[in-house]
Amino acid sequence: MYLTQNIEGETDAMKMCKFCGTENSDCAIVCSSCGANEFKHKCENCGTIFDEGNFCPKCGVKAGTKAKKCPNCGTEYYSIACPNCGYINNAGNSSVIYVNTSTQPVKKRKTWLWVLGWICMFPVPLTILMLRNQNLKKSIKIGIIVLAWAIYLILGFSGNSNKATSNLDINNSGANIVPSGINDSVLSDEEESKVVDDKVINGFLNECTFDYGEIEHGNIRTKFFIHINGCSTELLDSNTEELVIKVNGYHVDGINEAEVLEAFRMIAQVINGSENQKALNDLIESLAQHNTDFYEGTIGNLNYRFYAFVELSKSISECRMEITTTKYN
C-alpha cells in the first residue's frame, strides 16, 4: 500500500543509461554519453536502481523526486512528516510520493487455553470473566462465581461417590459372580447327570457309585426299576414327598436274604454317606439272624421295613426290604 503526499522542491532528478550507466537528466531523451534511448531510474531516497514503472519498488518514492529539507531541524526526508522532529509541510505542491506502509502484526489470542479451561474447569474462566466485567454489580459477580464453583464441586464429589459405590457393589457381589464358562459347564454337567425325568429319583441315582444296570420305566410316570446287587429294585417318587425303594428277593432265582441285606447296605451308604457305619453293620447282622418275620426302624436319613423269607405250608413269602427317605425332596 502506498500513501500520497504533496512535496516541495522537485526535480532535476537523474536517470541512468541502461547500456553505459551514465547519469542523465530526468528530461533527457537520449544518453548524453552513448546516445542510447533506454534508461533506468535511481531512487533518490534509498538508491535502488529499477527500470520498470515510475515508483521505487523498495520504498515507494517516485522516480526523480528530490528530498525535502525540514525547515525546523534541517533533516532531509521523503515522507509526509519529518522523521526527526515531526514537522509537516502544509504548503500546496503538486508532487506525489508513494510510501510503503506496514501494519503491526495482530497479537494472536491463546483461544485454546480458554477452550481447555471451559472443558476441564469451567469455573476458572468464568471467574476471570466476572472479575473483568465492569457492568455487573459486585454482589452479582460474587454470587455467580460462588454458584459456579458450588456446581463444579458437587458434580466432582458425586462422580467420585458413584465410582466408589460401583466398586463396593462389585466387591460385595464378587462371590456371586461366576464366569460364563463355569455356568455353562455346570449346566452341561447337570444335563449330563439327568438320568430320568423325575427329580427325586434322579437325585438318588446321581449319588449311586455302584452299577445298577439298565433303567426300566414303570407303569406310572414316577416309577422306575433297576438292579442292585442282583436284586430287582423298584424306585418310586410317592405323593407323600418320600422316595420309596423296594428291594425284592426271589428264592427261585437264588436271591435270598443275604443279597437283599447287602443291597440294603449299599443303599443306606448312598443315603447316609459314611455316617452310622457301625450301627448299619450291627443292624444288618441282627436282621440276618432274625427271630421274627418282620422288622422296621430308622437309621440315619432312612426308614426301613424288612420282610424275611418264610416258607409257608402251601407257598413261599419272599424276602424284601422297603426303604423310605425324604432326603431328595
Domain-wise residue ranges, the chain: 1-103, 112-153, 196-325
Which residues are CB-contacts of 51 (< 8 A; sequence separation ≥ 6)?
18, 38, 39, 40, 41
Closest CA to 63 of 81, 45, 37: 45
Q: Find the angle CA(285)-CA(256)-CA(253) to the nearest 5 degrees.
A: 165
pLDDT the model gives residue 3? 34
Q: Mean pLDDT over residues 146-174, rounded?
A: 68
Tens of pLDDT, residues 252-268? 666 788 899 999 999 99
- For the ranges 94-103, 192-201, 202-211, 287-296, the lowest mean pLDDT is seen at 94-103
Confidence of residue 122 (pLDDT cuts 50, 70, 90): low
Q: Mean pLDDT over residues 287-316, rounded?
A: 85
Q: Find the angle CA(299)-CA(232)-CA(204) to the nearest 5 degrees.
A: 50
Closest CA to 320 of 272, 276, 267: 267
pLDDT beyond 80 at 237: yes
User: Is there a contact between 284 and 267 (Cβ–Cβ < 8 Å)?
Assistant: no
Tens of pLDDT, residues 27-44? 788 888 888 888 887 887
Q: How far apart are the first and last CA of the chain?
A: 103
Phi-psi region of 315 (alpha: psi -120 to 50; beta: other; left: phi over 0): beta
Q: How many CB atoms lie under 10 A from the CB of residue 121?
A: 14
Rounded to 10 degrees, the C-alpha dihedral 135/141/145/151 comes to -100
- For the ranges 39-48, 120-129, 273-282, the lowest mean pLDDT is seen at 120-129
Closest CA to 17 of 45, 44, 36, 1: 36
Q: Mean pLDDT over residues 284-293, rounded?
A: 85
